[in-house]
């Protein structure tokens, strides 16, 4: 269905948990992170109910995210059951890749169409420094396994000044050798993200232009999401830019978000939305839920205001919202 600004909202991102097996420095604190209570998280059946109602309102694409979605034990059954809901055309995953190798075959059978793997460094030490807990080899082997299985891979990369920003061209070079896209995501001042200085995508693109001759602009496809893309000559994959800060893409936004404790958010930036868990557990009928989601979609805000002060700004961390 369309919101009041005429945008077709057909994409639901679902955070399956706020827990994670990593502690990326711009996403979570090292210790003392606050987590939702287990009983406050949506169950598999509650998630399925919300997806099925959303599908009736025109949602076609689902992304499972987190926290780290692969730490949730029922993810394979959940994906399989979402895949059987009428109207759902594609299920995707955003993951840090640590547990992906061991689960990817079962996920593919359950309907996984494509995976975004977050990877901020190709150097073991820097990868460990940025994630505090990660083992780079596991992520690299997961990438290879996905490519072998023919699952579309996009790498999500956040560049931080004086940390990993000397690796920009190493990531760019991956698109020459491997059949995957690399997308540079600008650091957002959400949660602990505000403690670091990101690299703007404009600076990244300038660096690429200064180092490569033939760079092709790739037309933005309608369902291509918030990234704009370029491609190097003879490269297998594309280079994407998600520039929430320097270039707001809100006018094409097609998504709503469900947090793991059942809060339906219209926009990443704002703290408001609706508590679907309360409604579900309070005995609301399917029709009540449908009307509430319909109203929420219709009233999606026109755009984020990350760079402005506002009282309704989201104060949660990215692992709690679902990035």
CB 49 within 8 A of CB 280: yes
- Residue 17 interaction partner, one of ligand SF4, ligand SAM, none, beta carbon < 5-8 Å per kind: none
Q: How far apart are the C-alpha atoms of 323 and 14, rounded to whole Å? A: 9
**Residue 40: how many other CB atoms lie within 10 Å:** 12
- Residue 28 interaction partner, one of ligand SAM, ligand SF4, none, beta carbon < 5-8 Å per kind: ligand SF4
- Residue 23 interaction partner, one of ligand SAM, ligand SF4, none, beta carbon < 5-8 Å per kind: ligand SF4
Binding residues (CB under 6 A) for ligand SF4: these are: 20, 22-24, 27-28, 66-68, 96, 118, 318-319
Q: How far apart are the C-alpha atoms of 277 and 260, rounded to whole Å? A: 10
Q: Is 54 in the site for ligand SAM (CB under 6 A)?
A: no
CB 126 within 8 A of CB 164: yes
59 or 190, CB closer to ligand SAM?
Answer: 190
- Residue 185 interaction partner, one of ligand SF4, ligand SAM, none, beta carbon < 5-8 Å per kind: ligand SAM
Residue 22 CB, nearest approach to ligand SF4 (Å) = 4
Residue nearest to ligand SAM (CB): 193
Q: How far apart are the C-alpha atoms of 147 and 178, rounded to whole Å? A: 9
Residue 134 CB, nearest approach to ligand SF4 (Å) = 8
For 206-212, which contacts have Cβ atoms below 8 Å and span 24 or more sequence positions?
207/168, 207/169, 208/168, 208/169, 208/172, 208/232, 208/239, 211/169, 211/172, 212/172
Q: Is 303 annotated as a binding residue?
A: no
| 100 DSSP 8-state letter | H
Which one among 11, 26, 92, 184 touches ligand SAM, defined by CB under 6 A? 26
Q: Where are the beta strands (DSSP E) in 66-212?
A: 90-95, 112-118, 152-157, 181-185
Q: Which stretch binds ligand SAM (CB under 6 A): 6-14, 134-142, 181-189, 256-264?
A: 181-189
Q: Is 220 annotated as a binding residue?
A: no
**What is residue 116's three-state secondary structure?**
strand
Angle between the N-to-C axes of helices 201-211 and 168-177, in degrees from 0 to 180, rounded to the nearest 10 = 60
Residue 60 CB, nearest approach to ligand SAM (Å) = 21
Phi, psi of 134, deg, nearest 5: -85, 155
Helix (H), strand (E) counts: the chain: 10, 12
Q: Is 319 in the site for ligand SAM (CB under 6 A)?
A: yes
* Owner of token pair 């909202």: 9
Residue 242 CB, nearest approach to ligand SF4 (Å) = 14
- Residue 100 interaction partner, one of ligand SAM, ligand SF4, none, beta carbon < 5-8 Å per kind: none
Q: Is 187 in the site for ligand SAM (CB under 6 A)?
A: yes
Which one among 42, 61, 163, 193 touches ligand SAM, defined by CB under 6 A? 193
Phi, psi of 63, deg, nearest 5: -120, 130
**What is residue 115's three-state secondary structure?**
strand
55 or 107, CB closer to ligand SF4?
Answer: 107
| 149 DSSP 8-state letter | T
Q: Is 151 in the site for ligand SAM (CB under 6 A)?
A: no
User: Which residues line the annotated binding site for S-adenosyl-L-methionine?
Assistant: 26, 67, 118, 188
Q: Which residues bind ligand SAM (CB under 6 A)?
A: 20, 26-27, 65-66, 68, 94-96, 118, 156, 158, 185, 187-188, 190, 193, 318-319, 323
User: Which residues line the annotated binding site for [4Fe-4S] cluster?
Assistant: 20, 24, 27, 250, 253, 267
User: Which residues line the annotated binding site?
Assistant: 13, 20, 24, 26-27, 63, 67, 94, 118, 154, 188, 250, 253, 255-257, 267
């Amino acid at each position: 269905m369309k919101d009041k600004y005429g945008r077709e909202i057909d994409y639901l991102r679902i955070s399956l948990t706020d827990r994670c097996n990593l502690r990326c420095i711009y996403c979570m604190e090292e210790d003392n992170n606050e987590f939702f209570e287990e009983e406050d998280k949506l169950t598999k059946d509650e998630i399925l109910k919300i997806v099925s109602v959303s599908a009736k309102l025109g949602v076609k694409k689902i992304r499972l995210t987190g926290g780290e979605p692969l730490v949730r034990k029922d993810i394979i059954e959940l994906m399989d059951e979402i895949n059987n809901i009428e109207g759902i055309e594609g299920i995707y995953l955003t993951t840090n890749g640590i547990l992906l190798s061991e689960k990817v075959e079962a996920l593919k059978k359950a309907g996984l169409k494509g995976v975004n793997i977050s990877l901020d460094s190709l150097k073991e030490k820097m990868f460990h420094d940025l994630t505090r807990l990660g083992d780079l080899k596991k992520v690299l082997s997961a990438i290879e396994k996905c490519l072998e299985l023919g699952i579309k891979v996009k790498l999500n990369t956040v560049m931080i000044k004086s940390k990993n920003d000397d690796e920009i061209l190493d990531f760019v070079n991956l698109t020459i050798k491997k059949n995957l896209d690399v997308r540079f995501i600008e650091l957002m001042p959400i949660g602990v993200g505000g403690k670091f200085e990101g690299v703007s995508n404009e600076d990244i693109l300038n660096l690429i232009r200064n180092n490569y001759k033939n760079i092709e602009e790739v037309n933005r496809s309608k369902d291509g999401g918030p990234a704009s893309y370029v491609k190097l000559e003879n490269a297998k994959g594309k280079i994407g830019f998600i520039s929430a800060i320097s270039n707001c893409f809100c006018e094409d936004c097609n998504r709503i978000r469900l947090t793991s404790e059942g809060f339906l958010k219209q926009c990443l930036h704002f703290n408001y939305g609706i508590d679907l868990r309360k409604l579900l557990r309070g005995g609301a009928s399917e029709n009540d839920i449908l009307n509430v989601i319909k109203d929420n979609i219709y009233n999606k805000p026109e755009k984020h205001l990350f760079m402005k002060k506002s009282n309704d700004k989201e104060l949660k961390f990215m692992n709690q919202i679902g990035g």
